[in-house]
Amino acid sequence: MKAFKLENEPKISTGFKTPDHYFDDLSAKVLQQINEDKKEVKVIPFYKRKKVLSILAAAVIIMALMIPIVNNYNATSKELDEDTLETYLAYQSNLNQYDLIQNLDAKDIQKLNKNVAIEDETLEDILSSTPNIEHLISE
Amino acid sequence: MIDEKEFIQQLLDPKTQNTAFQQLLSEYQRPLYVHIRNIVLNHDDADDVLQNTFVKVFQYLKNFKGESKLFSWMYRIATNEALTFLSQKAKLNGITSEALQNKTIDNLKADIYFDGDEIQIKLQKAIITLPEKQQLVFKMKYFQELKYEEIAAILGTSVGALKASYHHAVKKIEIYVTSN
């Protein structure tokens, strides 16, 4: 058999054909596909949603578990408010005036003076309504 | 055609994008179709791959750096798409790429979009015995009649290497056709 030489042969075509009018509507098809891709809503994979949900659930559970702790913290708070202290001193304490005075220093007394500043009118009222005023004056 | 940089700008600008892309399609659809068809061999697959190629071109256009020409960049995308398509199809059928191509060539005889005879079939059979790169070079040079410089830009190899590749391919094909 004679050796086949590509360059000696007439050009061999591929023999491939395309359907009639194939290229006429190709660009329309491609553009449609591109526009569809643009419009497509971004899909969130299910596992991602699940992950977010589980993180949220964990956060809610932790917060729920923390409620008693927060409550306890407030209840056992060591800071006493003034009302509680006053009530205690007035009703429960066996401190007497003398003890109190003993524990006051100069600053406390100054503070007290400011707090107990009584206006003249109030003083007059007290004096006039007190029957044993003479006794007080003589003292 | 206007300056390529300007044309790319038009492709990226939403206002001019549609018209510019239409122009790109009408200019490149035929040569890219032929290129893809030569790799995947049947029309339906070539149609799929060609559409995907243009969609990819559109998607990646903003990343196109202009380092190469638009022409060779698009040919490169088309080549990759076609080769990926072939290997995926082969995998799906559980056969090798070569076996798949063999099967496709056998089916060509019954293909309404193929009007070749014995010699075309024989030539295709000879081509698939070549390594992938030689197949590409042979098809681009012999069937598509691209210049070596163009093929070099598309495949990212030197002109010298391509000439050697083509020469080897022709020799092997001649031996195959003579002995079959």
> How many independent structural domains does chain A possess?
2
* Contact at CB, A19 and B30, closer than 8 angstroms: no
Q: Is B86 exposed, middle or buried (0-12, 13-18, 19+ CB in 10 A)?
A: buried
Decide: B27 and B1 in contact? Cβ < 8 Å.
yes
Evaluate whether residue A14 is within a structural domain.
no
Chain A partners within 8 Å of B41 (Cβ): 16
Instruction: Report which of residues A93 and B136 the model is more confident about.
Output: B136
pLDDT average, residue stretch A61-67: 91
Do A72 and A98 belong together in one domain?
Answer: no
Write out the residue limits of the CATH 1.10.1740.10 domain(s) in chain B: 1-113
Choose which CATH entry (3.40.640.10, 2.60.120.200, 1.10.10.10, 1.10.1060.10) describes domain B116-180: 1.10.10.10
Chain A partners within 8 Å of B54 (Cβ): 30, 34
Evaluate whether residue A18 is within a structural domain.
no
Do A87 and A133 belong together in one domain?
Answer: yes
Evaluate whether residue A53 is within a structural domain.
yes
Q: How high does pLDDT run on average in chain A? A: 78
Region label for B42, one of left (φ > 0), alpha (ψ between -120 and 50) or beta (otherwise): beta
Chain B partners within 8 Å of A3 (Cβ): 174, 178
Hey, what CATH topology would domain B1-113 get? Rna Polymerase Sigma Factor; Chain: A (1.10.1740)
Decide: A26 and B25 in contact? Cβ < 8 Å.
yes
Of the partner residues B113, B117, B178, the one whose CB lies closest to the CB of residue A17: B113
pLDDT digits (tens, 9 = 90+) for B112-121: 898 888 889 9
* Weakest-pLDDT range from A37-46, A61-70, B91-100, B103-112: A37-46
Do A90 and A130 belong together in one domain?
Answer: yes
3-state helix, strand, coil in chain A (%, to 5): 65, 0, 35
Write out the residue limits of the CATH 1.10.10.10 domain(s) in chain B: 116-180
Chain A partners within 8 Å of B113 (Cβ): 16-19
Q: Is the dihedral of CA B82, B86, B88, B92 positive or negative?
A: positive
Question: What is this structure's pTM?
Answer: 0.67
Evaluate whether residue A19 is within a structural domain.
no
Q: How high does pLDDT run on average in chain B? A: 91
Q: Is B168 exposed, middle or buried (0-12, 13-18, 19+ CB in 10 A)?
A: middle
Range of the structural domain that residue A47 is part of: 24-78
Residues of A with CB under 8 A from a CB of B: 1-6, 12-19, 22-23, 26-27, 29-31, 33-34, 37
Do A65 and A91 belong together in one domain?
Answer: no
β-sheet bridge partners, residue B114: A16
Residue A37 has what pLDDT?
76
What ipTM was predicted for this assembly? Answer: 0.81
